[in-house]
A and B are shown apart, each in its own frame.
Chain A
Amino acid sequence: MSRPGFVLEVDRSTPPILFHHGEGFRLEKLPAGSRVVYPAEPVDPLDDPEGAIRHALEHPVGDSEPLRALLRPGMKLTIAFDNEAVPLPPMAGPDNRQRVIEAVLELAAEAGVDDVVLIAAHGLHRRATEAELRHMLGDRVYDAFAPHGALQQHDAEDHDNLIVVGQTAEGEYVEVNKRAATSDLLVYVNINLVAMDGGHKSTMTGLVSYRSLKHHHNVVGMQHSRSFMDPPNSELHNATWRMGRVFAQHCQVFQIETTLNSDTFPSQFGFLQKREWEWSIRDRASYLATAKSLEACPPALARKVMHGMKSPQKMTSVQAGEVEAVHRLTLDEVHRQHLVPVEGQADILTMGLPYVGPYNVNSIMNPLLVMCLGLGYFFNLYRGRPLVREGGVVILSHPTRWEFHPVHHPSYIDFFEQVLSETTDPLEIEKKFEEDFANDPWYIHLYRNSYAYHGVHAFYMWYWGAHALQHVGGVIIVGGDPKAVRRMGFKPASTMRDALEMAEDVVGRNPSITHLHAPPILLADVT
């Protein structure tokens, strides 16, 4: 039985608290009275994931027949799956997607289905590399499909292979991958890392065009997603649900969702999973050796070491059937692992940001991604109210280097250099620059033919933080490149102590402080 997450009140006996800091770590002594929100320990995984998958396929939830009954010879079957953005870090094999897709293919083969196509539903993300696809799907599936062109990657700019299947009452166009939309059955295979993932968002983000995505990926939508980790209170989800329902009227979707426990880091990084006062001598030695070695490494080498890490996360549930019924169960499972009750908001929220987020798997965590991870994902890891009060200060710890992956993030560089030098206001940015970037032929070319995120994706990174930017009174980054930090309109600080002093200028003397001790991921249930 795993211990639930909890809130620690720092006193004089509390040891320094671990902060992730990019590819490294820092120990910070927080003032007495500060609170630290710890995640729950990993919940028990499924004993027999394959058996659980077979059971889920035979016993779907909601208005759906078992998968076996939906399969027939001569039909057109498409299996779409989440891309490499989840889970984080990439899980040690076999990946959930591999397990599920192998089970689905087995049933399809038994039913005599010949026309099967797999689609990586990466929306406007970069295409996955062969190595990444092999990791997600396993060699057997990859080798059976890729050589024949039956393993595809969604192309949101391939207008010959997109189709508008309808429009919501609010006027939102549902323009979807034609193969998926015209199949007799679309099986969607997901990994629900956080509460934001899954449900209709899977197809309405992963398989649509920019024209459709902009209906839910926009500044006003983000500002009214409070939080986007809490779907019932998220405009992002409201829009995807509206659009997903239109899609479901047109195309039969069999959704298969899986959840993971929070066993995030392998044993050599075991100290990251523990509470500091419970560190053994081995954990301390391990921390020191790891932190010092990474600190001594050039950033590129440290990055390589960290991105080579595979997570020991294990499947905790699998459910299949009708999208919304499936997702309700999924959310319960996610909450079982992630929810931590927290009473009241703080004047200052501190976070240590790790080396990886959804958009820099095997890549560089550039400053925009730091913003997105801190003010987008981590800030939104709440239900009810943000962990920091309105007008409060968020302090992030991250190296925030002025460094970009030129292949993966070309439009990010231009966004950072050209857009943010003019304004950091998300609404102004959206109005003045988004269309121009979204329709830039060079970005489109790189998205389609190289391994680049779509031209507009950099904007979404900024939009993810729009709610936080609206809510907080200041953002300070500890240990970041001052020039890069200032370009984003934030303040740099060299130490946590300096940052806390600077924050007092905004929130007043003797502020209340809450530290979000993640990853492993948690979801603060703030009352």
Chain B
Amino acid sequence: MKAVQVVDSIPRYGLAKVAGSLAPGLGAKLGPVSLVDIDEPDLPAAGWHRVRPRLSGICGSDLATVDGKSSPYFQPLVSFPFVLGHEIVGDLDGGGRVVIEPVLGCAARGVDPPCRECAAGRTDNCERTAFGHIKPGLQTGYCHDTGGGWSTSMVAHESQIHPVPDQLDDDAAVMVEPAACAVHGVLGVEGSTVLVLGAGTLGLCAIAALRRFTTPGTLIATAKHPEQRKWARELGADVVVEPRETHRLIRRTTRSLKVGATLSGGVDVVVDCVGSAKSIEESLAVVRPGGDVILLGMPSTVTVDLTPLWHRQIRVRGSYAYGTESLDGEPRRTFDLAFELVEHARLGRLVSARYPLDRYREAIDHAANAGSRGAVKVVFDLRGEKRR
């Protein structure tokens, strides 16, 4: 089968890092990623099913891998070679359209009894990610044994499978995974002013999720590109500004004074959907003393002055993946809420371009420069691919 695969090659990671620093997405030409013809993955055990991806999205974390920017932290949590792709809508071999919840928790790994986090439904915090009867891999798309969405065949455990309602088309369904990330990150956010930094797929989903599941007094969004600004407004941001205007807007909105470049006040909550040193610094600069910063975008190794975090007693919380949430006192699977959000906010509209696997370099280049090209979500379209 055709698949876009990542190999463990330090020289190629080095080349990807150099290339990626020259131009986003350039790592696809020189790095550890290539289109290969490989065997379909075997079904690891009972409870596993073969899935034929229909659409599979290109995520920021995928691009970080392509451009050699992923943190070394992940090294023991993945197994090479692996096929990329964790935003997936596909067909079960036995019939039925499904969305894959990529986290590989204890159930998928055959770990019994499950760890205390999985037992509580918090698979995002699974303590056995590198153990069990499949090779290490924090998610489908990073595990050798499962394959990934950027291929014509992969395997998924029944705990990962969510049937897609008929009313959701493939574009909508492929948005469920990023929507779930956003829902997980923003549920429970409270504040009269909330800032979402970044308006890529994750940022836009976060805006939609905040509108759907929380009641922010004023929802502010930063967006670099005109199309992103349009979407941010469309999905519920009250005020949308360019990144360079953020600091000034927050000062004015929160009626803060300034001491040097530091605001005396700030927003109650910042949802950082970028994850760069710059965005984290910006988050710390514009959140109020005692406020919350949620890191929704995946950071890597960054250098950030944490003095304001210490001095202003800011709480920083990471937000990874999804699991079980508490909504109005009731436990709800994040993916169930994400399905609801995708349908309500019509997030399928954010799918901007579809590529066949053969054009994976173009697809990656497009995704890496999506904002500047007026795009949001770029996906691989596997529906026309031969199965062998």
Chain A contact residues, CB within 8 Å of chain B: 413-414, 417-418, 421, 436-437, 440-442, 445
| Residue B212 lies at the interface, judged by CB distance under 8 Å to chain A | no
Given the complex, which residues of B lie within 8 Å of A441, measured CB to CB? Answer: 255, 257
Whether B330 sits at the interface, judged by CB under 8 Å, is no
Neighbouring B residues of A440 by C-beta, 8 Å: 252, 255
Tally of B interface residues using CB under 8 Å: 12
User: Could you give 12 example pairs across A and B, Cβ below 8 Å?
Assistant: A414-B252, A417-B242, A417-B249, A418-B248, A418-B249, A418-B252, A421-B241, A440-B252, A440-B255, A441-B257, A442-B258, A445-B257
CB neighbors of A among B225-258 (8 A):
239, 241-242, 245, 248-249, 251-252, 255-258
> Is A417 a contact of B256 with CB atoms below 8 Å?
no
Give Cα A51 to B27, complex, Å: 82
For the complex formed, measure the closest distance between the CB of A415 and the CB atoms of chain B, giving whole angstroms.
10
Q: Which residue of B lies closest to A416 (CB)?
A: B245
Name the contact of A413 in the complex, choosing from B242, B248, B256 (C-beta under 8 A). B248
The main secondary structure of chain A at its interface with chain B is: helix
Q: Write out the residue numbers on chain B whose beta carbons fall within 8 Å of the beta carbon of A442.
A: 251-252, 255-258
Interchain CA distance A442-B257 in the complex, whole Å? 5
- B252 nearest in chain A by CB position: A414
Find chain B residues with CB under 8 A from A445 CB.
Answer: 257
CA–CA, A53 and B249, complex, Å: 51
A445 to B264, CA, bound (A): 13
Residue of A nearest to B246 (CB): A417
Contacting pair B241 A414 (CB below 8 A):
no
Contact A417 B241 (CB under 8 A): yes
Given contacts A418-B241, A418-B252, A421-B241, 4 further A-B contacts (CB under 8 A): A414-B252, A417-B241, A417-B248, A441-B257
Q: Which 6 A-B pairs have the closest CB atoms?
A: A417-B245, A442-B257, A414-B252, A414-B248, A418-B249, A441-B255
Q: Quick one: which of B242, B249, B258 contacts A414, CB cutoff 8 A?
A: B249
Minimum C-beta distance from B264 to chain A (A): 9
Residues of A within 8 A of B257 (CB): 441-442, 445
Q: What is the CA–CA distance of A482 and B252 in the complex, to the nearest angstrom? A: 26
Question: What residue in chain A is nearest B244 (Cβ atoms)?
Answer: A417
Using a CB–CB cutoff of 8 Å, the interface residues on chain B facing chain A are 239, 241-242, 245, 248-249, 251-252, 255-258
Whole-angstrom distance between the alpha carbons of A417 and B248 in the complex?
9
Docked Cα-Cα span, A418 to B220, in Å, equals 12
* Min CB–CB distance A520 → chain B (angstroms): 38
Q: How far apart are A452's CB and chain B's nearest CB, in angstroms?
A: 12
| Chain A min CB distance to B228 (Å) | 14
CA distance A436 to B249 in the complex (A): 13
Closest to B263 in A: A442
Q: How far is the CA of A413 from the CA of B239 in the complex (A)?
A: 16
What is the CA–CA distance of A249 and B242 in the complex, to the nearest angstrom? Answer: 52
Among A418, A436, A437, point to the contact of B245 (Cβ < 8 A): A418
Chain A residues, Cβ within 8 Å of B256: 442
Which residues of A are found within 8 Å of B251, using beta-carbon distances?
A: 442
> CB-CB < 8 A to B241: which residues of A?
417-418, 421
Bound CA–CA A414/B248 (angstroms): 7
Q: Which residue of B lies closest to A439 (CB)?
A: B255
CB-defined contacts of B258 to chain A, threshold 8 Å:
442
A437 to B255, CA, bound (A): 10
Q: Which residues of A contact B239 (CB under 8 A)?
A: 418
- B33 vs chain A, min Cβ distance (A): 37
A456 to B256, CA, bound (A): 17
Query: Taking the nearest CB of chain A, how far is it from the CB of B176, in angstroms?
Result: 33
Query: Complex Cα distance A445/B251, Å?
Result: 13
Alpha-carbon distance A418/B239, docked complex (angstroms): 9
Q: With A and B bound together, what is the CA distance between A413 and B241 in angstroms?
A: 13
**CA–CA, A437 to B252, complex, Å?**
8
Q: Report how far A437 CA is from B257 CA in the complex, Å.
A: 13
Quote the shortest CB–CB distance from A447 to chain B (angstroms). Answer: 13
A413 to B249, CA, bound (A): 10
Q: Which residues of A contact B245 (CB under 8 A)?
A: 417-418
Bound form: Cα–Cα A308–B20 in Å? 49
Which B residues are in CB contact (< 8 Å) with A437? 252
Query: Please, how many angstroms separate the alpha-carbon atoms of A121 and B245 in the complex?
Result: 33
CA distance A440 to B256 in the complex (A): 9
> A421–B249 Cα gap in the complex (Å)?
12
Within the complex, the shortest CB–CB distance from A481 to chain B, in Å, comes to 15
Q: Give the shortest distance, in Å, between B306 (CB) and chain A (any CB).
A: 26
Nearest CB in chain A: distance from B184 CB, A? 31
A442 to B249, CA, bound (A): 13
User: Chain A contacts of B249 at CB under 8 A?
Assistant: 414, 417-418
A237–B37 Cα distance when bound, in Å, is 82
Q: Which residue of A lies closest to B240 (CB)?
A: A421
Q: Complex: how many Å from CA A139 to CA B356? A: 79
C-alpha spacing A418/B258, complex, angstroms: 18
CA distance A162 to B257 in the complex (A): 24
The CA-CA distance from A442 to B256 in the complex, in Å, is 7
When distances are taken between beta carbons in the complex, the residues of chain B under 8 Å from A417 are: 241-242, 245, 248-249
Closest to A433 in B: B252
Chain A's nearest CB lies how many Å from the CB of B23? 24
Q: Which residues of A contact B248 (CB under 8 A)?
A: 413-414, 417-418
Q: How far is the CA of A417 from the CA of B242 in the complex (A)?
A: 9
- Taken together as a complex, chains A and B put the C-alpha atoms of A77 and B380 apart, in Å, by 82
**Distance A414 CA – B245 CA, assembled complex (angstroms):** 8
**Chain A residues closer than 8 Å to B242, beta-carbon distance:** 417
